[in-house]
Amino acid sequence: MALDDCLPDALALSSPELADRMVAVTFGPVLALPAAEREELLHTTSVWIRSLGSTLRAAKSLYCHRNTVLNRLRRMESLTHLDLSDVTVWPQVLLALSILRREGRLPVEIDSV
């Protein structure tokens, strides 16, 4: 993979301390959850953002009801204190997810963003 294909990851990984801080600030309380719940919340958030905030599209991708997606997103927001409907937080969330993936702290089943 060429550097130009992964510039955000390269930027985050060039400073491991900053990358760790971003993950901790973004997902701290979520990372303390049991693995199954943590992965479900992170996966739902990732799919929802990739669906451009469409709960219906995310639900179809996740094979669940749209209310399930909404409940998971509310849980994520209550734990992280992030307003996921505010698109200005999406880059932070996506980069933190990417860092977790690159560090092997997320299973490969959680789709790449």
* Whole-number average pLDDT of the chain: 89
Phi then psi for residue 105, to 5 deg, are -90, 0
What span, in angstroms and rounded, lies between the C-alpha atoms of 13 and 74?
29
Condensed to tens digits (0 to 9), the pLDDT of residues 2-30 reads 766 666 667 777 788 888 999 999 999 99
Condensed to tens digits (0 to 9), the pLDDT of residues 50-73 reads 999 999 999 999 999 999 999 999
State residue 113's pLDDT score.
43
Coil, helix or strand at residue 44: helix
Condensed to tens digits (0 to 9), the pLDDT of residues 42-52 reads 999 999 999 99
- Read off the pTM: 0.86
Q: Are 40 and 33 in contact (CB under 8 A)?
A: no
Chain position carrying tokens 């089943």: 109
